[in-house]
Structure 1
Amino acid sequence: MKGIITFDGFKVDSMNYERISDYNEDSAKLAPEFLIKKTESKDDPSYYNIIFGVRLGGEEGSLPFKAEVILRGFFCFNSEDFNQEEYEIDDYQLFTIINASAILFPYLRSALTDLTSRSNHNPIILPTINFNEFIRNRDLSDILMDNDFYEDIE
């Protein structure tokens, strides 16, 4: 049985790590910044990507490093299992973004932990997130991207 959303895998778009030499231990603060974007296929909008990223250490001296991980997830919305006419377009978009982000999060979390464990400090393990609340508190127009950014899974 097919679910409403099919997850076809992910790839790493970007991973960066930079050690900060003038780190101030007294100002240490873990404040992850998240990026979430959705782009749909021009040919068939039921196929879409979620670009999901996290950045740490953006403030000067807040952590002994700067780290960033950006993943791209490949999804298909199986519309035969879901009557889109019953929902507003924003509800449909929120449904696909919330669920796809929740699916991608463990991969993002694991990649960040692995990346930050390769230095001489404790690895960073992101806390769990309530994606329903997290996505609904964002402006949907900031999440949706032009379909020129869509990529097919290879």
Structure 2
Amino acid sequence: MSVLQFDGYKVTSMEYHRNTNFETPKEQITLDPKLKADHEVNDNHISVTLSLTVGSLTKKSIPFQVDCSVVGSFTYNPEEDKSEIGLDGFIRDNTVAILYPYVRAIIATLTTTSNEFPGYIMPTINVRQVLNQQNED
């Protein structure tokens, strides 16, 4: 048995909105994804919500806005935590990183199936670093 067990995830929302104010820019479009992570702990069971917004409906240079939220379920097995990282460490460093590829795939699917603009494939990232940076801003 591992220290942190991933019990699965559920999509709680996914939305694609076309920006009706979009005007094709002369330069390359730059999207600035915004991540948000929240968690709840009940004994050794962890529920983590990862939400992501990409794009904008107010900026004329952005063609769409996509929102997605998933909730992941995890079990922390403290008897397996030989390195004594602790529950908070696993929540901060591992749970969101496990959920990110699912959100990334949903965003790619939604933007690709819009059939109007090229699909947006989010880059692989250090999720912890991005969340820490966003919290500082």
What is the TM-score of this pair, normalised by structure 2? Answer: 0.84
Name the structure 1 match of 2:3: 4
What count of residue pairs does the alignment treat as equivalent? 131
Runs of 5+ in structure 2 lacking a partner? none
Q: Aligned partners of 2:77, 2:134: CA distance in 1, in Å?
A: 25
Runs of 5+ in structure 1 lacking a partner? 140-154
Does structure 1 residue 30 correspond to structure 2 residue 31?
Answer: yes
Q: Aligned-pair RMSD on alpha carbons? A: 2.1
Equivalent positions of 1:2-151 (< 5 A) are 2-26=1-25, 28-41=29-42, 44=43, 46-58=44-56, 59-82=58-81, 86=84, 92-119=87-114, 120-137=116-133
Displacement of 1:131: 3.0
Contact preservation (8 Å) 1:98, 1:135: no
Find runs of 4+ consecutive structure 1 residues off by over 4 angstroms.
Answer: 135-139
Q: How many percent identity over aligned positions?
A: 28
Q: Aligned partners of 2:111, 2:133: CA distance in 1, in Å?
A: 28
Displacement of 1:92: 3.9
What do the CA deviations read for 1:41-70 (whole angstroms, capped 9, x no partner)? 2xx2x1011100110123522421111010
What is the TM-score of this pair, normalised by structure 1? Answer: 0.75
Name the structure 2 match of 1:145: none
- Where is the strand percentage greater, Structure 1 or Structure 2? 2
Q: Aligned partners of 1:60, 1:38: CA distance in 2, in Å?
A: 31
